[in-house]
Amino acid sequence: MNDDNEKKFNIIINEQDEKVDLGKNFSAQYRLTLFDKNDMEIKQASKVNNETTAVLQVFIKNNVEKFPDKLSDFTYQLRIKNCKELPNGKCKITASVEERKKILSKINDLNGKLVRDYFTNDLGVSHPLTGSDDIKFKIESNDGDQEVDRGVRVDIYSCPNNSEIAPGQKRIRGIANEKLDIDLVWNRHIQFELKEDVLDWELPEEPKSIWTNPWFIGALSLIGVIALVGIIFHRKIRDWWKKRKEKKEAQLEVF
C-alpha cells in the first residue's frame, strides 16, 4: 500500500466552511449499538428507555472505484485550534476535556448531516439491530431547533421475533443530538475512522504554581528560619535588657 493510502484521511484544518466532502457513487451500510446509562450494551427492546444512548457507524464504500478507494474523494474540512499534523499522518490536538467534547460533538454533527444530505435514500429504511431479535431501527432526518443538531436521529422500534415495522407503528425511542454519536468509517474493508484512528489528544499544560517551585519553597524556608532565629534572639535581648535595667535600679537604691 502506498503512502497516500497509509494516510487514509484527507483533513484540512482551520477552514471557515466546516463540512465533509464526498465524491460520487458512494453507498453506505449501517451498524447501530445501543447503551444503557452504565455503558452496557442493549440488545432487548424492554431495556430501551430515555437514558439510552447510541453509536451509529456508517460504513462508506465507493461503488465504482476498485479497492482501495481514492482518498481524494473524501475530505474533512474542520476548524480546530491548537492542532498540528504529526509525521504519521495523525492530527494532535491540545484541548481541555470540555474542548475535546465540543470538537467531537462538532464532528458528529458533520457526520450526521453528511448522511442526511448525501444518503437520502437510506432515510426511513428499516434496519435490524445486530444481535437482537426484537429491535429494529430507522435513520430519519432530524430538523429540530435544539442547540445540538446531528442532522439525523435514530428511531428505535420494538419488533418481536424480528417482525417488520408495521405501517404507522410508533417508535419506542428517538435518539438524537448529544445522545447519538455518528462515526463515518472510511472504506469498509479497512474500517478506518477519524475520531479513533486519526485524532490524537493531549491536555494543555497546567500553569505552574509558584508554590510548587523548589527555589521559591527554599527561599521561603530560609526566611522562616531567619524569622525564627530573630524571634529567639529578640526574646534573649529583651530579657538581657530587662535584667540589666533591674540591676541598675538596684544599684541606685543602694546609693
Average pLDDT over residues 220-246: 68
pTM of the model: 0.75
If you average pLDDT over residues 52-71, what whole number do you get? Answer: 81
- Per the DSSP assignment, residues forming a β-bridge with 155 are 138, 174
Tens digits of per-residue pLDDT, 104-139? 999 999 999 999 999 999 999 999 999 999 999 999
Q: Residue range 74-87: average pLDDT?
A: 83
In the prediction, which pLDDT does 255 show? 44
CA distance 198 to 88: 9
Grid cell listed for 238: 529583651
Kindly tell me if the per-residue pLDDT of 193 is higher than 80.
yes
**Rounded CA separation 91/203 (Å):** 14
* Mean pLDDT, rounded, for 132-157: 87
Task: Give the distance between the most distant pair of CA atoms in the chain.
Answer: 125
Q: How many CB atoms lie within 10 A of CB 65?
A: 14
Q: pLDDT band at residue 156, thresholds of 50, 70 and 90?
A: very high
pLDDT tier at 86 (50, 70, 90 boundaries)? confident
Residue 27 bridge partners (DSSP) = 61
What is the average per-residue pLDDT within 138-142? 94
User: What is the distance between the alpha carbons of residues 192 and 61, in angstroms, rounded to a whole number?
Assistant: 12
> Phi/psi at 163 (nearest 5 deg)?
-70, 160
Q: List phi, psi (to 5°) of 16.
A: -65, -40
Torsion sign over Cα 110, 113, 118, 121: positive
What distance in Å separates the CA atoms of residue 69 and residue 249, rounded to the nearest whole number? Answer: 107
Which is more confidently placed, 68 or 30? Answer: 30
Structural domain spans, the chain: 3-202, 210-254
Phi, psi for 245 (deg, rounded to 5): -65, -45
